[in-house]
Amino acid sequence: MSKLKGIFFDQDGVIIDTERDGHRVSFNETFKAFGYPFEWDVEEYHELLQIAGGKERMKHYMDEKGTTAGMLPEAVDEQIKKMHKFKTDKFIEMIESGQLPLRPGIRRFMQEANQAGLVIGVCTTSDVKAAQAIAYKVLADVRLEFVLAGDMVTKKKPDPEIYNLALQKCGLGPDECIVVEDSRNGLLAAKNAGLRVIATTNPYTEKEDLHESDLILTCLGDPGGEKAVLVKGGPIPSFDGVLHVAQVAALF
């Protein structure tokens, strides 16, 4: 087994708990601003998360509601594009105002990876502006080699394209890298690229089928904060509710 050289992170639900109180709220503000009479509640948005990508999610929903009936395809695409830009701006405002804190352990774990000389990249289906706002502002003290977002690939998770692109970017093999994911779509994308996966669950994904993951934890854990619960995998030597990069490197 090759030595660990790189770690790729999903963004939404892994780096920040963005979905319920970030993206969902921003989508609802967008619908209101554009005059649409619907609002996604917590459970409905959970179901919609099975559709990867914000623009794809909106189009699917609006098609089902009949609000795009009679519109030319190019007109629908243009409307979705305008709405998604508005939504992204709202979401970035939330990020920059500090309304959405980092998940437990993520900054510490990334900094440990930096200190170990590992390649770190972000691979998300989110908009590139939102991804960069988190990567280069909220995580300004973490050295990232690259940030890959949804619009940089033709197929979104569960397709492995974004993780294959990450491997090409850093010139590493799948046996030299691991992925931190939180959802089944993300897990499948990573596994289909031949990568090992650490799953950190959140309220939206804790009941999803993540059994193919090599490790499953409730979070990465912080020494002075929320501790991680190991759900699957291991054993991890000296594990005390805080997962360290050194432990991962030894385990894999």
- pLDDT digits 0-9 by tens, 30-50: 999 999 999 999 889 988 988
Rounded CA gap, 37 and 59, in Å?
A: 15
Give me the active site residues, please. Answer: 10, 12
Question: What is this structure's pTM?
Answer: 0.83
The CATH code belonging to domain 6-17+101-251 is 3.40.50.1000
Domain extent listing, the chain: 6-17+101-251, 19-96
Model confidence at 18, in pLDDT bands (50, 70, 90)? Answer: confident
pLDDT average, residue stretch 116-123: 98
**What pLDDT is attached to residue 248?**
96
Class of domain 19-96: mainly alpha
- pLDDT digits 0-9 by tens, 166-197: 999 999 999 999 999 999 999 999 999 999 99
- pLDDT digits 0-9 by tens, 45-98: 988 988 888 899 999 999 999 998 889 999 999 999 999 999 999 988 998 888
Burial bucket for residue 69 (CB in 10 Å: 0-12, 13-18, 19+): exposed
**What pLDDT is attached to residue 11?**
93
Question: Beta strand 177-181 with 6-9: parallel, antiparallel or unpaired?
Answer: parallel
* Matching residue, tokens 């609002």: 39
The mean pLDDT of the chain is: 93
**What pLDDT is attached to residue 203?**
82
DSSP H/E element including 183: none
Burial bucket for residue 233 (CB in 10 Å: 0-12, 13-18, 19+): middle
- pLDDT digits 0-9 by tens, 150-174: 889 999 999 999 999 999 999 999 9
| SS3 category, 198 | strand
